[in-house]
Amino acid sequence: MVNSLQEHPFSYKQKYHIDKKLAIAASFLGLLACSCSQQTATNVSAKSDTTSNTVSTKTTDKNNVIRLGYQKGGIIPLARQRGELERQLIAQNIKVEWIGPFDRCATLLSSLNGNRADIGGCGDIPSISGIAAGQPLCIGSVQRPRPNSLGNAILVRGNSPIQKPADLVGKKVAVNQGGAGEYLLLKVLEKENIPKEKVQRVYLSPNDAAPALYQGSVDAWAVWEPYISIAELEHKARRITTTHPAPTYGILIVRSDAAKENPVAVKVALTALSEDGEWLNQNTSAASDFLVKELKLSDAVAKQVTKNRGPESYVFPNGEDVANLQKTADWLLEQKIIPQKVDIAASVCPLGTTASR
């Protein structure tokens, strides 16, 4: 379940009242995945910084610590709620620190870059953009694309005359720069043979894009869950796209030095996240309950989000995954979304693991 990596010269001056539910529901790039074991750990609240609050299990041995950065929503905060990942890691003498919540992938990646977190969940587009920008990141595990997922969409107001992508010509569409929203819009335009120059991209964060759409400052919004379900069920927005023309990967992105210096702990954490994700796939009601608690969503919204996202399964990337991600990276370079070529094979974390199909 993907976001802007830099400021853009577009200045969005009008202030909006932001729906409380939207203010607490940050970008949703991956849902579900953690682990199982025994024993309960106690989390100690740590001092917060400008982008996050830190909850940690303190330790003096950095090689026995894994810092998991998270946005609101996604696999890592769900793992924190359920508690099995932490129990399993503690049983292996690995302490866990929870770093977050972050408002979007860009700030999460900045935390990894600044050595304040070791692992975080993002989409492939912002992850590749971060690597291209020279951030010291590597790809830990991936969630393969789900062609039938309804987790991304271009939305319009319920009373909008826009009915299909072709109607976007000459219109303003809110997207997050260098992230999943911009990628979705460009891929939809490409599929429909609409020159991208004929649609104006307005770079906004999700919390700014939502009121901009509802109040008419933009005509459409390219976004992901849980924003889609909130917009549809609570603000009468509607989608003009169904499935994604180029489904994306979810990525558990890792700070490069953590993967090199502490590969065992990183691998254990990634494996635990994957195992708990499989458990949650078999317990969708529990997944919805976690969303209600984490994002303060209504039951109806949480259930639709879970349904739209579909099953979640994180695995270590194999050769086919690397090739697919390389195609995405090359396309991003062609579109001038990233500044330089990214070698995906060289960007996979050196954890001594080859994934199975």
Instruction: Give the pLDDT score at 297.
Output: 86
Token readout for 59 is 């330790």
Q: What is the pLDDT of residue 105?
A: 87
The predicted pLDDT at position 61 comes to 56
Cis before residue 350, ω within 30 degrees of 0? Answer: no
* 114 has a pLDDT exceeding 80: yes
Strand partners, 42: none
Report helix angle 319-334 to 124-132, nearest 10.
Answer: 70
* Boundaries of every domain in the chain: 26-146+248-347, 152-239
pLDDT at 71: 83
What pLDDT does residue 117 have? 97
Q: What percent of the chain has pLDDT over 70?
A: 81
CATH (residue range 152-239): 3.40.190.10
pLDDT at position 287, please? 80
Residue 161 has pLDDT above 60, yes or no: yes
The predicted structure's pLDDT at residue 104: 80
Same fold across 26-146+248-347 and 152-239: yes
- What is the rounded average pLDDT of the residues 300-312? 86
Please provide the average confidence, as pLDDT, over all residues in the chain: 82
In angstroms, the CA 322 to CA 347 distance is 9
In this prediction, residue 309 carries a pLDDT of 82
Query: Tell me: the pLDDT tens digits for 175-232?
Result: 998 889 999 999 999 999 999 999 999 999 888 999 999 999 999 999 998 899 999 9
Each residue of 20-67: pLDDT tens digit? 333 333 333 333 333 333 333 333 233 333 333 433 333 335 668 999
> How far is it, in rounded angstroms, from Cα 347 to Cα 332?
16
pLDDT band at 310 (very low <50, low <70, confident <90, very high): confident
Query: Domain 26-146+248-347, what fold?
Result: D-Maltodextrin-Binding Protein; domain 2 (3.40.190)
Predicted pLDDT at 63: 66
Query: pTM to 2 decimals?
Result: 0.77
Is the pLDDT at 281 greater than 90, yes or no?
no
What is the arithmetic mean of pLDDT over 250-257?
Answer: 97
Instruction: Please report how many Cα atoms fall inside a 13 Å half-sphere around the Cα of residue 305, on the Cβ side.
Output: 35
pLDDT(254) > 90: yes
DSSP-assigned letters across all residues of 288-334: HHHHHHHH---HHHHHHHHHHH----EE---HHHHHHHHHHHHHHHH
Give residue 34's pLDDT. 32
pLDDT score recorded for residue 78: 84
Q: Which residue has the tokens 């977190």?
A: 117
What's the pLDDT tens digit per position in 54-111?
Answer: 333 333 356 689 999 998 777 888 889 889 999 999 999 999 999 988 878 888 999 9
What pLDDT is stored for residue 39 in this prediction? 34
Q: Is residue 271's pLDDT more than 90?
A: yes
